[in-house]
Amino acid sequence: MRKYLIAGNWKMNLVPSEAKKFAKQLVESIKNVDKDVDVMIAPPFTALDAVAQEIKGSIIKLGAQNVNDNEKGAFTGEVSADMLLDLGVEYVIIGHSERRTIYKETDELINKKISFSLKKGLKVVFCVGELLSERESGKTNDVVKTQVVGGLKNISADDMKSIVIAYEPVWAIGTGKVATPEQAEEVHAFIRNTIKDLYSKEVSDNITIQYGGSVTDTSVDGLMSKENIDGALVGGASLKVDSFTRIAKFQK
Ligand code: 13P
């Protein structure tokens, strides 16, 4: 059966020296999580090396927040999959709404990044989610389906074992306005069903689907009590040792 994944997306926060200290505290604090829970943190690129050293030998896995879709070459300012792998990165977050909206990443580019990352042996946290205006006009399922289908184009059933989907409603990100467990569960069930239609019941039963958007140590248990919610992708609350630890030790 599927594993839970609690992940911290640090976004553009913490310089390497701060990140190193923070990771050291986290390793101490987060030791005894349940065996069926994976924990991952995704620091900025500049802090990956320092954090990798600190979490070595711990249960915490390393993630990156972005990757380029090319092998290497003239792509000024970009970071390749090999560069991440060489530092011990295991996961990469792709399709985050901040990259979709601020940096205009399309489903097509997201699909290229996913394909290339999988080819390289990275695991992918693939983010989808609707804007407030889309929710209010009843388009949530359509939007999410388009993102899921577009992002997963030509991805094989076997490769789906290396993908986690993160449902992050854009209106809940960084707003303090967490989706209710019922709102989240409804979309998670829809995503799982979409995966079943695209692949098979086996693939859909086994895929981990995280919720993200203003998750805190007080909202996590309610969300995790839902059948189709298999983890959390946490922004703000992942930057505090106590709250991220409590989230990783959620009560179902
Ligand atoms: P917040 O938890 O700060 O709302 O951010 C969620 C998020 O975007 C994680 O990727």
16: confidence class by pLDDT, cuts 50, 70, 90: very high
Asked whether the CA dihedral 146, 148, 152, 156 is positive or negative, the reply is negative
99 C-alpha vs ligand 1 centroid, how far in Å?
A: 13
Range of the domain at 172: 4-248
Q: Is 188 a catalytic residue?
A: no
Measured by CA distance, the residue closest to atom 7 of ligand 1 is 235
The CATH code of the domain that includes 32 is 3.20.20.70
Q: Catalytic pick from 54, 96, 98, 134?
A: 96
Specify the residue with its C-alpha closest to ligand 1, atom 5.
Answer: 235
CA distances from 71 to 86, 90, 151 (A): 14, 17, 19
pLDDT digits 0-9 by tens, 60-109: 999 999 999 999 999 999 999 999 999 999 999 999 999 999 999 999 99
- Site residues for ligand 1, CB cut-off 6 Å: 9, 96, 168, 173-174, 212-215, 233-237
Active site residue 168: yes
pTM (predicted TM-score): 0.98
Report the distance separating Cα 211 and Cα 229, nearest Å: 7
Q: Report whether 124 contacts 118 (CB < 8 A).
A: yes
Residue with the smallest CA separation from ligand 1 atom 1 is 235
pLDDT band of residue 1 (cuts 50, 70, 90) is confident
Number of structural domains (the chain) is: 1
From the DSSP assignment, how many helices (H) and strands (E) are in the chain? 11, 8
C-alpha 174 to ligand 1 mean position (Å):
6
